[in-house]
Amino acid sequence: MQTIDTRPVDPAPIQTTENPGDGPGVAFFDFDGTLIHGDSLPMFVGEVIGRRRAALALADAIRSGLHRHLRGRGPGADFPGSVKAIFLKRTLRGVPVADALAAAERMIPRIRWHAPLLDTLKAHRDQGRRVVVATGALDLYMPALLRGLGVDDLLATGMEAVDGILTGRLATGNCVRQDKAERVSDWIRRNGPVGPTWGYGNRPSDLPMLALMQRGEVVTIRRRHAQQ
């Protein structure tokens, strides 16, 4: 498994030695910390309820998640999952879906794309490969952020809504770590034969997904690059 050098240089053409009969293949990309700088979820919640309220809610969710997780009562599969579940319930419960979708549109100009990986995505697309984004980010806002990139499919974390109102609960598994790997594996089974596979993500959360790939590459955004 390789680590991508994320310095801002022009990417070399993507090479493949697979037989042409295998088809062009498919490339899977993580989103947060791979295609973009940072974490999109706090940004989204900030657009929904206000940035200050979102920051305070996240800090409170971390405290509550740690307390519950240490007692074995966390609502998530692990500590980060518990924090996420608490954060979403406390901030998105009762929000109209229409308001959430409007917040997604407001996010678009705030996203800081990670240029080397965005170029890699476009190179795969230009060479006729399918492109799939697999992310723990929410399906409420990801379609807006990916608009125009030519992404073929999205595997994301779903939010439950009843009568057009968010309940604050997840409608799917949290699409990270092992859950993400299982969803990617299922996608490959349902859409095969897919030909050669590429994967791009960060450690440690994306290692299970990358292990499924013929070519899995760990992306590390260097601090000095992230500040440019």
Tens of pLDDT, residue by residue, the chain (228 residues):
555 544 333 333 444 444 544 679 999 999 999 999 999 999 999 999 999 999 999 999 999 888 777 777 766 667 788 899 999 999 999 999 999 999 999 999 999 999 999 999 999 999 999 999 999 999 999 999 999 999 999 999 999 999 999 999 999 999 999 999 999 999 999 998 899 999 999 998 999 999 999 999 999 987 654 444
pLDDT at 141: 98
pLDDT at 89: 96
- Residue 222, pLDDT score: 77
Q: Print the domain residue range for 145.
A: 2-226
Q: What pLDDT sits at residue 21?
A: 46
Q: Which residues contact 29 (CB under 8 A, 6 or more apart)?
A: 35, 117, 121, 131, 132, 133, 134, 199, 200, 201
**Amino acid at position 85, single letter:** A
Domain count, the chain: 1
Tens of pLDDT, residue by residue over 164-211, are 999 999 999 999 999 999 999 999 999 988 999 999 999 989 999 999
CATH of the domain at 29: 3.40.50.1000
Sheet holding 197-201, edge to edge: 2-4, 215-219, 197-201, 26-29, 130-138, 153-157
211 class by beta-carbon count within 10 Å (0-12 exposed, 13-18 middle, 19+ buried): exposed
